[in-house]
Amino acid sequence: MNLQGSGSNHNRKPNLNDDNSIFMNFQDGNEYERITGQKPSVSNTAGFDSEEERATKLKEAKEKENSRAYDELDDFVYRQGRRRHYSKKHHHRHRSHSSHSSEHGTLVKKKKRKHRRKRFKRWQKVCIGIICTILALIIASIVSLIIMINMGKSAMLDNSGLNINVPDNAVTGDNGNTIIYKGEKYRYNENITSILCMGIDKDEFSDVDGEIGTGGNADSIFVITLDLYDGTTKLINISRDTMTDVGIYSPSGKYVGQKNAQIALAYAYGDGRDTSCHNELVSVRELLYNVPINSYLSLDMNGIVAINDAIGGVTVVSPETIGDFKQGESYTLMGDFAQSFVRTRSHATVEGNSLRMQRQKAYLEGFASSLVSKTKYDLTAPITIFNTASPYVCTNIDASKVAFLSMNAIQGNYKAFEIENVPGKVKQGKKYAEFYVDENEFFEMFLDVYYIKIGKA
């Protein structure tokens, strides 16, 4: 069967009278047999019994042939359509890469490249660049903060200088890692770090055996101890009048020697900053059996107002009646009232400094409470306070230590302050009040702060 597959055949029905061998009129029984596959009756020479039967048989054969032609034509049209679709795709590809139409192919390639370049518009690229930069800065900041925190931790827990000098009624081993006292064995707590804090009165001078110190006096001295494992925070409050060995230097900076004097005077024999802090640190360590103290901070008392107001004020209950304050009354200190509460001291009695230390203790507790509360809502609060205090502060606490301490505070690793005064008695000396430490009580307090009891010796 020869069918022409052109577009014009799609809507044209086959005609059995076409000039085509498949559509010719039937002439005899052979043609009938060819079409139907059956032999007609052979009762006459034409292969049919009568003209009527011939007409009927041929009609049936034509209808059957007609139906078959429709089926084959539908199949042909379907196949031709598939061929044209494939031919178009193949031809399009061929044209885009053929050498005889290189100009057109180049144009197509250029258009494709141009399309790829326009995948992101300019403003989209800018936005993506900004986002990537911000993410990179955030990641870099986080990494830097982690590094700073770890550096701060390492610096604050440096116990390489451990070399404890115990009193005569105690025995030490391994440079003070273990101590035996009254039948009990103690082990040094390596998770503790110490910070020496000093409140400096720059207006005071010192005179020890004719040597003048002009750096100022450490009117407030306390050591903050932080147990970085269980969060225990203790403050050892040291009376400024405590009698101990003090390093004396001439105005030119020449070392004169050690003298037994008020511990506050150690600060005077220096430059009023780092050398003064170092000299005070040496005296405090001497008092504390040479325990490692890796950090220090001195604050000019004139900076109390700025720091107090930066934190939003400090609420206290006055432990005594003095100046503008009455015993038992609550005050929210702002401005000069904060400085007056911390600095005022009665000179009418030798207990004047001890009473002032009680007010300073109340202020420190209120200050710590305000700082922790503010930090919970503003993570930058410690940095803000640190920056506010900077003009009045001399310290070796760098950014890494601040980051480490702030992270611990945010995580709630610090418990409420436990403030302990160095035990002893005060008496009037030749010129000034003198405070003498009760050695037994103080050493037991020292063991409680820095050591862990591990059993019987």
Q: Does the pLDDT at position 59 exceed 80?
A: no
**The Cα angle at residue 288 between residues 225 and 418, in degrees rounded to 5:** 30
- At 221 the three-state DSSP class reads strand
Give residue 410's pLDDT.
65
Give residue 214's pLDDT.
87
Q: The tokens 């230390």 sit on which residue? A: 357
- At 426 the three-state DSSP class reads strand
Backbone phi, psi, residue 354, to 5°: -65, -40
Both tokens of 2, joined, read: 């020869």
As a whole number of angstroms, the longest Cα–Cα distance in the chain is 166
What is the secondary structure of 403-427 as a DSSP string? Answer: HHHHHHHHTT-----EEEEPPEEEE
How confident is the model over 175-217, as pLDDT tens digits?
A: 899 999 999 999 999 999 999 999 998 877 787 877 888 889 9
Residue 277 contacts residue 298 (beta carbons within 8 Å): yes
What confidence category does residue 51 fall into, taking pLDDT thresholds of 50, 70 and 90?
Answer: low
Average pLDDT score over the chain: 78
Cα separation, 59 vs 82, in Å, equals 35
Residue 381 contacts residue 371 (beta carbons within 8 Å): yes
Provide CATH 3.40.630.190 ranges for the chain. Answer: 157-456
Closest-CA residue to 359 (of 328, 382, 387): 328
Give residue 369's pLDDT.
84
Cα separation, 144 vs 135, in Å, equals 14
Give residue 269's pLDDT.
93
Q: Does the global pTM surpass 0.85?
A: no
Pairing between strand 206-208 and 211-213?
Answer: antiparallel
* Mutual angle of helices 381-389 and 399-410, in 10-degree steps: 140
Question: What mean pLDDT is predicted for residues 320-328?
Answer: 90
**Helix, strand, coil percentages for the chain (3-state, nearest 5):** 45, 20, 30
How confident is the model over 240-298, as pLDDT tens digits?
A: 999 999 999 887 788 889 999 999 999 999 999 999 999 999 999 999 999 999 899 99
Both tokens of 56, joined, read: 């009927």
- At 227 the three-state DSSP class reads strand
Cross-strand bridge partners of residue 297: 197, 395
Q: Does the pLDDT at position 453 exceed 90?
A: yes
Cα separation, 245 vs 354, in Å, equals 21
How confident is the model over 131-168, as pLDDT tens digits?
A: 888 888 888 777 776 777 777 777 778 888 789 999 99
Closest-CA residue to 200 (of 293, 98, 311, 274): 274
What SS3 string covers 80-101?
Answer: HHHHHHHHHHHHHHHHHHCCCC
What confidence category does residue 26 fall into, taking pLDDT thresholds of 50, 70 and 90?
Answer: very low
Question: What mean pLDDT is predicted for residues 13-39?
Answer: 50
Cα separation, 31 vs 436, in Å, equals 142
Which CATH code is given to the segment(s) 157-456?
3.40.630.190
Pairing between strand 295-300 and 192-201?
Answer: parallel
Give residue 2's pLDDT.
41
Residue 200 contacts residue 266 (beta carbons within 8 Å): no
What is the secondary structure of 12-70 as a DSSP string? Answer: PPP-TTSSSGGGSPP-SHHHHHHHHSS----SSTTSSSSHHHHHHHHHHHHHHHHHHHH
Give residue 37's pLDDT.
61
* Mutual angle of helices 352-377 and 381-389, in 10-degree steps: 140
Give residue 387's pLDDT.
85
Both tokens of 37, joined, read: 């596959």
Cα separation, 238 vs 408, in Å, equals 26
Query: What number of residues does the chain have?
Result: 457
Backbone phi, psi, residue 291, to 5°: -70, 145
Q: Which residues contact 407 (CB under 8 A, 6 or more apart)?
A: 149
Q: Which residues contact 188 (CB under 8 A, 6 or more apart)?
A: 159, 162, 164, 176, 177, 178, 179, 450, 451, 452
How confident is the model over 353-412, as pLDDT tens digits?
A: 888 888 888 898 898 888 878 877 777 777 788 788 889 999 988 878 877 777 776 666
What confidence category does residue 44 fall into, taking pLDDT thresholds of 50, 70 and 90?
Answer: very low
CA distances from 394 to 171, 274, 276, 338 (A): 37, 7, 10, 21
